[in-house]
Chain A
Amino acid sequence: MKYLKYYTILITIVSLFNACQSDDSNSEKDFNTDPVENLNKVIETQNSEGYNLAFYSSEKDIQTGSNILIATITKNNKVVIATDLQLSITMYMSSHGHNMSHGAPVTQLTTTKHKGFYEGFIFPTMASNGTSDYWVLRLTATVDKQTVVFESNIEVKQSKDKTITSFNYQDLNYTVALISPKTPKIGLNSSSALLFTTEDHETFKIVDSHTIHIDPRMPSMKNHGSPNNINLTQAVSQGFYTGQLSLTMSGYWKINLMIENSHGTIIKGNPITEEQESSDIYFELEF
C-alpha cells in the first residue's frame, strides 16, 4: 500500500517509456486494447497450480539497471486478478568457486488502468552468466483467494551504458539506478533515478530525502561539461528522484554523481575539478 503514494508519479514516468498506453482521453478505448500488444514477453513461467506468469518489456531483454516490466497472471489463457503481489530477484553465483547469493532492488508491482496488469521495476545489478551466475525472480500473489508462488530463472544482459552503481556508507549498502532518460537527446532531458539501501543485501528500501548531484562530462572532449543541470531530488517520500540532465551533444557522456544525505553530508562521490576528472560513482550514457 505504501507504494500508492508514488503511484501517480510512477504513472507519469512510465508514460515516458511508451510501455503503457497512457493517453487519458482515450482511456475507454485503451481499456479494450491489449496493453502488452507492442511489448516483448521477456519472462514466462508456470506454477504447479497451472497459473501462468508473464512479464513484458518494451526492450527485447532484461538488462542491468532499471527495467520497467508489465506483469500479468493468466489461467487457461484468461487474465486473473492478483493482489498482495510481492516481487524479488536474487542472484546466485558460483563462478568464483564458492556459492553465494544476493538480491537487487525492485519496486513492488502496482496496478495499471488495465485490470489484471501490474507494473514495476527491477534493477539487476549485474549480468547473468549461463548456469554459474543467474538471477531468480520470485513473485508471490493472492489469486482466487489463494497464495501462489512463481519462480523463474531470468537472463540479464549487460546494458550498453552503466546506469546502476552501488557503494557502502556507514555499514549500509546503497544502490543508485538511473531510470530516465533511457534514450537521451541533445538538450535538456528530464531525468529520474532511485536510491536504495540495504542491510542484508536481500531487502532493499527506497532512501528518502537525499540529493543526487549530477555533473555530465565528456571525457573525450577534455571533460567538457553541459550546463543547467538540476540535481535529482524527491517530490514525495518513497518517490522517484527527479531533475534535469543537460547534454550539449550526442556521444559518450559520463554522468558524475555525488550523493548528499538529508544532513547535507556527501556520502559518496566527489566534485569534478581540473585534477579530479571523474567522480568515483557515475552513470554512463552514449547516444
Chain B
Amino acid sequence: MAKRIRLAYLCSVLALPLWAQSIQNDSIQELQEIILISNTKNNTPNNPIASIENYLKQAKSIDMIQRGNYAWEPTLNSMATERISLTIDGMHIFNACTDKMDPITSYVETSNLQQASIQSGQQGNHYGPTLGGSIDLQTRRPNFTTSPQWEGNLNLGYETNNQLKTAGIILQYTSPKWYFQTQTTLRDAGNYKAGNRQEILYSQYTKTNASGVLGYSISPNKTLETQVIYDKATDVGYPALPMDVSLAEALITSIRYEVKPLFSFIDNWETKLYYNTITHRMDDTKRPPETIAIHMDMPGWSNTYGLYSSIKSTQKNHHLSGTINSYYNKSLAEMTMYPNNPNEKEMFMYTWPDVHTQYTGINLQDHWEIDKEKSLQITASMGVHANQIKNQIALESLQIFYPDMNNSKTRLLGSAAVNYIIKKSNWNYGVGTALGNRAPSVSEGYGFYLFNSSEQFDYIGNPNLKNEISSEINAFLSYTSPTLSSRLSGSFFHIQHYIIGNIIPELSAMTIGAKGVKQYNNLTYAQLATLNWSNTYKINNQWRFNINIRYNYGEDNDKNHLPFISPLSYGSSITYTKNKLQTSLELQANSTHNSNAQVYGEQRTPSYAILNWNINHSWSVYRNTMTIHCGVSNIFDKYYTTYSDWNSIPRTGRNLSINLQYSW
C-alpha cells in the first residue's frame, strides 16, 4: 500500500498493522477489504485524530485527490466518484458541490465509523451500479448487552503543522432491550505548511460532527434502529481551487429494521428507509479582491430519499443474498455573479438543473462453496435509472446546446460478476470476470458551465451520453504462513464509451480566465489496470516488516494517458510491538509521474519519498484505558506534490501530532 501519507496524519501509520489485521479468513472475504476504523473499547491501535480519508487510503486500491487539507476525493482503481459506489451503511448520499469539494466521505467522522468495506469492480454492485468498485462506510453500532452498561471515550488531539485541534466524546449505553450511542467531534485547523515551512493560504477548516443511534429490541430476533448524523463544516479553504466553502452541511437520517433469523431458511432480513439532505455554499469573499475577477455565489443542494431491503439465506453450501435498492435524488445548483458595475443586474444560471434521479434495482448474490477448496462467487444485478429535469428555466438553458432534448431519460443498467477461488494449504488464488455499466452522473449529463480549475475549461454536460460499459478481469494470488503473508492482485478494466471532456473550439468560455469549453463525450473506449503486491514479514513477536508496490495504468483508445492515474508507488514500514507499546517507521514514495495525461492538461509531477514515525502506548487506569499517540510525519520536511494533488498543490510538510484518548 504505497501511499503518500499526509504528514499531518503521521499517526495513520498506526493503522498499518490494522490493515494487516483485515479480516480475510473466509474465501468470500478474499474479495473485499475491510479497514477497521474505530471502536469504543480502545482495543484497536487506531488514531482518532486522523481523518476518514487517511484511513481509507490505507486500502490497496484507494487514492485521494486533494484540493486542500479537507474533503479529499477517494478514487478506487483509479476511478473517482462518478464511477464508484460510495455509501454510508448502504445509504446513497450524493454530493451537493458541482466542483467535487464535498465527496460524501467528508460528511462523516472517524469516530462515528466502525469500518469501511471496500470491494473492487463489479463485486461492489450490492447497493447499485459501479465500475470501479464500492466503498461502504459502516457506522458504529452498539450491541445489546445482557446487563445495562455505560461506556465512553474522550479524546483530544493537536497537530503542530496546521494547529489542528480536535476533541471528541462518545457515550454509549447498552442493555438487553435498548442501546444508545452519541458522538460529537470538533475539528479546527489553520493553514497548513508545505515542506520548507511554506504556508499554504486558504487551507483552514472548522468541522463539527454529531451523531446518535438508538436501537430497540422488539423481540430477541427483531431490532428497530434509528440513526441521525449531522455534519457541518464552515470556513473551509480550498487552496487548489479559486473558491472556498462557507458552509457544507449534511443531515443523514435512517430507520432500520432487522430480523435474524426469520423462519428457518432466512438468516437475516434487513430493511432500511433513509433520507439525507446536503447544503453546500461556496465562498470567494475571503480571497484577495484582485484575484477575484467577479464575485459569485454558488450554492448547491442534494436531497436523497431511499430504501433497501436485503435477505440472506444459507441453502446447503450456497450463501445467498438478495437486495432491492431504490433511491430518489434531487440535485440542484446555481450560480449568481455580481458584475463589477453595480448598475448592472446580477447574472444567474443553473449549473445543475434540478435533476431528479430515480434508481430501483435488484441484486442477487450466491457464494457457493463447491467443496473445501473451491468456491464460486456470483453476483448479478439489474436496475432502472431515470433522470428528469424539473426546472423549466434550467431545461431551456441546456436546450441551447441540445434543442431537441427531453426533460427525462431512462436507462436500463445491469451487471454480472463471477469469481472462482481456490484455497490450498498456504495458497489462495482466484480469478474473476465481470460486466457492468453505469449511467452518466448529474454533472456529466446535465452540468452547465462547470469550471474545472485544473484544466481551466468550462464543462457542459451531455444528456445524449451512452452508458459506460465495463468489462473486467481480475485475479489474485496469496500466500500465508505464520511468518510471511504475501498477496499479489490485479484488475483490468476495458471501459467502452468512457466519458471524458472534449474541447469544443467554437464555444465561448463563461468563467473569466477559462481557456475554453469542454463537452462530456464518450470515447470509443479506455483501459485501466491496477496491480498490487503487498507483503508482511513477521520477524519475531515484536518486529514486523511490511512492503507494498502498486502499479496503475490508464489509456484511452488513442493511447493517450488518462488523468489521475498513479505512477508506480511503493511503501514500506517496520513495526515494533511490545505489550501495549507500538511504534513504527514508514516510508512512502512515488516514482516520477511521466505518464501524465498531457492531452487532458495534466502536469508531470516529480518522484518523492517521505518518512513518518509514530508511537502509541496505552495504560490501564483503574478499569479504564488511557492511550497516547504521538508521531512525526514528513520527518525531513520535504516539499512535494503528487499526481493526485489538484493544480499541483504541495502536500503537508513536517508535522508533529499528539493525541490522548481515555476510554471507560
Interface residues of chain A, those whose CB is within 8 Å of chain B, are 185-188, 218, 220-228, 246, 248-252, 286-287
Say whether B400 contacts A249, CB under 8 Å.
Answer: no
Interface residues of chain B, those whose CB is within 8 Å of chain A, are 293-294, 335, 337, 339-341, 344-349, 393, 396-397, 399-401, 403, 448-449, 506-510, 512-513
A248-B397 CB under 8 A given contacts A186-B349, A220-B339, A286-B345 = yes
Say whether B393 contacts A220, CB under 8 Å.
Answer: no
Bound form: Cα–Cα A35–B393 in Å: 31
Q: Which 9 A-B pairs have the closest CB atoms?
A: A187-B396, A251-B347, A225-B508, A249-B349, A220-B339, A250-B348, A252-B344, A222-B512, A249-B347
B400 contact from A188, A218, A252, Cβ within 8 A:
A188
Main secondary structure of the interface of B (DSSP, over half): loop
Say whether A221 contacts B512, CB under 8 Å.
Answer: yes
Smallest CB separation, A137 vs chain B (Å): 32
Say whether B403 contacts A220, CB under 8 Å.
Answer: no
Say whether B393 contacts A226, CB under 8 Å.
Answer: no
Say whether B401 contacts A228, CB under 8 Å.
Answer: yes
A221-B337 CB under 8 A given contacts A186-B349, A186-B393, A248-B349 = yes
How many CB-defined contacts (below 8 Å) exist between A and B? 81
Q: Which A residues are CB-close (under 8 A) to B346?
A: 250-251
Q: Which B residues are CB-close (under 8 A) to A218?
A: 347
Say whether A251 contacts B399, CB under 8 Å.
Answer: no
B347 contact from A221, A223, A246, Cβ within 8 A:
A221
Q: What are 25 sample pairs from A and B whose C-beta atoms fall under 8 A apart? A: A185-B393, A186-B393, A186-B397, A187-B396, A187-B397, A188-B396, A188-B400, A218-B347, A221-B294, A221-B337, A221-B510, A223-B508, A227-B400, A227-B401, A248-B400, A248-B448, A248-B510, A249-B348, A250-B349, A251-B337, A251-B345, A252-B344, A252-B347, A286-B344, A287-B345
Bound form: Cα–Cα A287–B344 in Å: 10
Bound form: Cα–Cα A32–B400 in Å: 40
Say whether B400 contacts A251, CB under 8 Å.
Answer: no
Smallest CB separation, A233 vs chain B (Å): 18
Q: Which B residues are CB-close (under 8 A) to A228?
A: 400-401, 403
Bound form: Cα–Cα A209–B313 in Å: 78
Say whether B345 contacts A250, CB under 8 Å.
Answer: yes
Bound form: Cα–Cα A287–B348 in Å: 10
Nearest CB in chain A to that of B343: its residue: A252
Q: Which B residues are CB-close (under 8 A) to A224?
A: 508-510
Bound form: Cα–Cα A228–B396 in Å: 13
Q: Which B residues are CB-close (under 8 A) to A249?
A: 335, 337, 347-349, 397, 510
Bound form: Cα–Cα A24–B323 in Å: 55
Q: Which B residues are CB-close (under 8 A) to A185?
A: 393, 396
Q: Which B residues are CB-close (under 8 A) to A225?
A: 508
Q: Which B residues are CB-close (under 8 A) to A286?
A: 344-345
A252-B345 CB under 8 A given contacts A221-B294, A224-B508 = yes
Smallest CB separation, B235 vs chain A (Å): 28
Bound form: Cα–Cα A172–B130 in Å: 67
Q: Which A residues are CB-close (under 8 A) to B508?
A: 223-227
Nearest CB in chain B to that of A246: its residue: B400
A220-B341 CB under 8 A given contacts A227-B506, A248-B349, A251-B348 = yes
Bound form: Cα–Cα A221–B293 in Å: 9
Q: Which B residues are CB-close (under 8 A) to A222?
A: 293, 509, 512-513
Bound form: Cα–Cα A286–B345 in Å: 7
A187-B393 CB under 8 A given contacts A221-B510, A249-B349 = yes
Bound form: Cα–Cα A286–B348 in Å: 12
Bound form: Cα–Cα A227–B449 in Å: 13
Smallest CB separation, B354 vs chain A (Å): 14
Smallest CB separation, A158 vs chain B (Å): 14
A226-B509 CB under 8 A given contacts A185-B393, A250-B348, A252-B339 = no
Bound form: Cα–Cα A85–B271 in Å: 78
Smallest CB separation, A181 vs chain B (Å): 12
Bound form: Cα–Cα A195–B344 in Å: 28
Bound form: Cα–Cα A248–B449 in Å: 9
Say whether A187 contacts B400, CB under 8 Å.
Answer: yes
Q: Which A residues are CB-close (under 8 A) to B393?
A: 185-187
Smallest CB separation, B385 vs chain A (Å): 26
A226-B294 CB under 8 A given contacts A221-B337, A286-B344 = no
Bound form: Cα–Cα A249–B293 in Å: 18
Nearest CB in chain B to that of A252: its residue: B344
Say whether B399 contacts A188, CB under 8 Å.
Answer: yes
Smallest CB separation, A175 vs chain B (Å): 26
Residue with the greatest number of chain B CB neighbours at <10 A, chosen from A187, A218, A226, A252: A187
Q: Which B residues are CB-close (under 8 A) to A248?
A: 349, 397, 400, 448-449, 510
Bound form: Cα–Cα A228–B339 in Å: 25
Say whether B348 contacts A188, CB under 8 Å.
Answer: no
Q: Which B residues are CB-close (under 8 A) to A223?
A: 508
Residue with the greatest number of chain A CB neighbours at <10 A, chosen from B340, B345, B508: B508
Q: Which A residues are CB-close (under 8 A) to B510?
A: 221, 224, 248-249
Nearest CB in chain A to that of B346: its residue: A251
Smallest CB separation, B265 vs chain A (Å): 57
Bound form: Cα–Cα A252–B348 in Å: 11
Bound form: Cα–Cα A246–B397 in Å: 9
Bound form: Cα–Cα A188–B293 in Å: 27
Residue with the greatest number of chain B CB neighbours at <10 A, chosen from A220, A224, A226, A252: A220
Nearest CB in chain A to that of B458: its residue: A224
B344 contact from A186, A220, A226, A227, Cβ within 8 A:
A220
Bound form: Cα–Cα A248–B458 in Å: 13
Residue with the greatest number of chain B CB neighbours at <10 A, chosen from A222, A223, A225: A222
Smallest CB separation, A162 vs chain B (Å): 14
Q: Which B residues are CB-close (under 8 A) to A287?
A: 345
Smallest CB separation, B493 vs chain A (Å): 35
Say whether A251 contacts B339, CB under 8 Å.
Answer: yes
A188 contact from B340, B403, B507, Cβ within 8 A:
B403
Residue with the greatest number of chain A CB neighbours at <10 A, chosen from B293, B399, B400, B509: B400
Bound form: Cα–Cα A248–B508 in Å: 11
Bound form: Cα–Cα A215–B347 in Å: 18
A227 contact from B335, B341, B507, Cβ within 8 A:
B507
Q: Which B residues are CB-close (under 8 A) to A187?
A: 393, 396-397, 399-400
Bound form: Cα–Cα A199–B396 in Å: 42
Nearest CB in chain A to that of B506: its residue: A227
Nearest CB in chain B to that of A250: its residue: B348
Q: Which B residues are CB-close (under 8 A) to A246?
A: 400
Nearest CB in chain A to that of B348: its residue: A250
Nearest CB in chain B to that of A251: its residue: B347
A220 contact from B347, B449, B513, Cβ within 8 A:
B347
Bound form: Cα–Cα A237–B312 in Å: 76
Smallest CB separation, A220 vs chain B (Å): 4
Nearest CB in chain A to that of B293: its residue: A222
Say whether A186 contacts B396, CB under 8 Å.
Answer: yes
Bound form: Cα–Cα A228–B404 in Å: 13
Bound form: Cα–Cα A188–B393 in Å: 11
Bound form: Cα–Cα A185–B335 in Å: 16
Bound form: Cα–Cα A252–B347 in Å: 8
Smallest CB separation, B517 vs chain A (Å): 9
Bound form: Cα–Cα A224–B458 in Å: 12
Nearest CB in chain B to that of A272: its residue: B508
Q: Which B residues are CB-close (under 8 A) to A221?
A: 294, 337, 347, 510, 512
Smallest CB separation, B262 vs chain A (Å): 54
Smallest CB separation, A184 vs chain B (Å): 11
